[in-house]
Amino acid sequence: MRARDVDATWRTQISGYPRALDASADGRWLALGLDDGHVQLVRAGTGELDQSLKVHGDALTALSWNPRLPLLASAGEDGAVKLCDMASGTTEEVVPPGDTWAQHVAWNPKGSKLASSVGRRARIHALDGRGHQELPEVESTVAGLAWAPDGQTLGAACYGGVRLFEPKSGRRTRKLDWKGSMLNVAWSPNGKVVACGCQDNSVHFWRLATGRDSMMSGYPQKPSTIAWSHDSALLATGGGMQITVWQFDGKGPEGTMPLVLEAHRTPVTHLCFSPLVKVLASGDRTGEILVWFPDETTTPVRRHRLPARIEALTWALDPDDAQLRLVACDAEGHVAAWSLQA
């Protein structure tokens, strides 16, 4: 079966190099974080630019929309963490600028607390950003933050594994150990498994109920991007030209063969599962975007393209027209959206 190309719902080009992309929980807005410190707010249904705010003194590194409110958290190379009220256009400084980059921001599932990291230390901030809990330093620069789905635990990936913290007290409650450095971290939506891509070209995961951990090795390149399906049945991992998908339903993935998705001709830069159905999007260094139904076929069903390296992908469900859209941005500032229903 040949992948079908579908016309984009809209295309636009922004001024600047996109470093981060996130969709609001109501599906109406897209936020793009740029290399000049601006955040641009775009209408998800049309691609129209609504506002542009200068938020950081240097490039943005991460964005996270609050799941309930029009609040956007951002981190930057200036070391600052900011909260932007996109309804009023006002900005609150949560962490002041410093010499070390702020690299990660993540709201808890209820949107009541914000986690951020600067260097080796993570913090948990109040909703208004005016109070915070400082967590103990980890062994290296934090490589990723992930909340448990119930919001009762925050995971921080670093050299030596993942450290779990209780948000209220800031106390470290558990160490998920593994040798070497982690590249990222993702918590399964059912709360049962924490997974990381690792610097030693492997994927490691821990089953929290039993403490059992497993390593999946043999990757030709570092698994720099990982993504869970909404039902926790599939973990997609990539960084080379192949996408490896581990199946967690049944007794797997230990002792089973993964699904291998092969169609990219350059290394994959980003993976993103739809939040509603088991549809996977992947982007690569040349700007090619493929859409997969990995439960049904290992051949891509759609093929899209932007002119340059894919920097980020996200999904947005627009409540006005009930369209589930895949949105991508590339290294030259091109942004486009495709409807899954088209």
The answer, yes or no, to whether residue 48 has pLDDT greater than 80, is yes
pLDDT at 21: 97
pLDDT at 252: 76
The mean of the pLDDT values for the chain is: 94
pLDDT at 166: 96
Please tell me the distance from the alpha carbon of residue 92 to that of residue 66, in angstroms, as a whole number.
Answer: 14
Helix (H, G, I), strand (E, B) or coil at 219: coil
Read off the pLDDT of residues 104-118 as tens digits, 9 standing for 90 and up: 999 999 999 999 999
Please tell me the distance from the alpha carbon of residue 107 to that of residue 152, in angstroms, as a whole number.
Answer: 12
Please, which residues have CB within 8 angstroms of residue 287's CB and are 6 or more apart in sequence?
305, 306, 307, 308, 309, 310, 330
pLDDT at 44: 93
C-beta contacts of 11-14 below 8 A and 24+ residues apart: 11/47, 11/334, 11/335, 11/336, 12/42, 12/47, 12/48, 12/49, 12/334, 12/335, 12/336, 13/332, 13/333, 13/334, 13/335, 14/40, 14/42, 14/49, 14/329, 14/333, 14/335
Read off the pLDDT of residues 65-74 as tens digits, 9 standing for 90 and up: 999 999 999 9
pLDDT at 170: 93
Read off the pLDDT of residues 139-159 as tens digits, 9 standing for 90 and up: 999 999 999 999 999 999 999
The answer, yes or no, to whether residue 1 has pLDDT greater than 70, is no
pLDDT at 68: 95
pLDDT at 342: 66
pLDDT at 256: 87
The answer, yes or no, to whether residue 76 has pLDDT greater than 80, is yes
CB 36 within 8 A of CB 22: no
The answer, yes or no, to whether residue 27 has pLDDT greater than 70, is yes
